[in-house]
Amino acid sequence: MRSLSEIDTISKRALRAKGFSWGISEEIGKSVKQLELFGLPGLKNLNQYLKIYDQNKFQQIKLISKNNISENKFHCPISSGISFLDQVKSLEKLKSLEFNKIAYPILFLSFVSRASEVLGKKILIKMDEKEFMLNFNQSIFGNYSKSEIWENSNTVLINFIENSNSFSEEEWKEMTKFANETFVEETDELKEKSAGAGLTDND
């Protein structure tokens, strides 16, 4: 079995060999390593993307808006992902946004997961019929776990989730009450026992 370090290295070297800058190559190396860590087929999809890269002029995007529409070409998952990651703090203000036609969306997914960590917020992303909850780049929960090539997604919807507790304030108060039961009220006897505890007089 290949190590995550090997996956990172081979991915960024392959991108560099295709003419990508070292900076972009480093980013895709991190992303593919992360996808494999979460059990998603990052390297398989990157391999297929590179096979057709020269023949397919994907739509490049630098400035992301509320609605990102490409009439003919599919959006490049790498340029879209890097732009999303770079702009995510301003994009958060939109609350939600949409892409159409993203090629190899698994590769794009990894950048959105990393953006979740940058924001400190969960992000819900729906790609056609598949949904993923991205949790601060610590985990990816979704209804897709197949080890296969996913060539494109026609509709991508992204929602920024506001942080909230999964419990009520009343439940917090009840837990606080339980926790406070561990503290023993200090008495004069306890004070005397604790004073100089552990010391011996050898004189």
Residue spans of the chain under pLDDT 50: none
Q: What is the pLDDT of residue 6?
A: 98
Q: What is the pLDDT of residue 185?
A: 63
pTM of the model: 0.85
Q: What is the pLDDT of residue 172?
A: 96
If you search the block for the tokens 């060539």, which residue do you land on?
151
Q: What is the pLDDT of residue 57?
A: 84
First-to-last C-alpha distance (Å) of the chain: 67
Report helix, strand or coil for 122.
strand
pLDDT, the chain, mean: 92
